[in-house]
């Protein structure tokens, strides 16, 4: 019984590693530049924002297109607009 459980544990780890490798290959680096249009995730506003300035450590300054309000945001909550 112990051998069966150990084998199942090992198989689960192998599957997890393969899945992680597959997902990591599919991730594309996010290139952020000023004047680029982006969407904010989990935002009530459904219109694109414009990047004003890109700081170190993936912090960006975005400008609201309607009110010209400027705010700072982390790059991991942005998606590129088409």
Classify residue 28 as exposed, middle or buried by CB count within 10 Å of its CB (0-12, 13-18, 19+). Answer: exposed
In a domain, 25, yes or no: no
Please state the pTM of the whole predicted model: 0.54
Q: Which domain range does residue 76 map to?
A: 37-80
pLDDT confidence band for 7 (50 / 70 / 90): very high
Query: How many C-beta atoms lie closer than 10 Å to residue 5's C-beta?
Result: 9
In a domain, 44, yes or no: yes
pLDDT tens digits for 21-80?
999 898 877 788 899 888 877 667 677 888 888 888 778 888 887 776 777 766 666 666
Q: Which of 42, 45, 39 is nearest to 80 (CA)?
A: 39
What SS3 state is found at 40? Answer: strand
How many domains would you assign to the chain? 1
In a domain, 7, yes or no: no
In a domain, 32, yes or no: no
Contact predicate 49/62, CB 8 Å: yes
């Amino acid at each position: 019984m112990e051998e069966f459980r150990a084998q199942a544990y090992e198989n689960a780890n192998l599957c997890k590693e393969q899945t992680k490798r597959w997902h990591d290959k599919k991730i594309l680096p996010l290139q952020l530049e000023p004047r680029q249009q982006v969407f904010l995730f989990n935002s009530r506003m459904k219109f694109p924002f414009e990047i004003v300035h890109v700081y170190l450590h993936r912090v960006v300054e975005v400008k609201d297109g309607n009110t010209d309000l400027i705010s700072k945001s982390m790059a991991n909550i942005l998606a590129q607009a088409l």
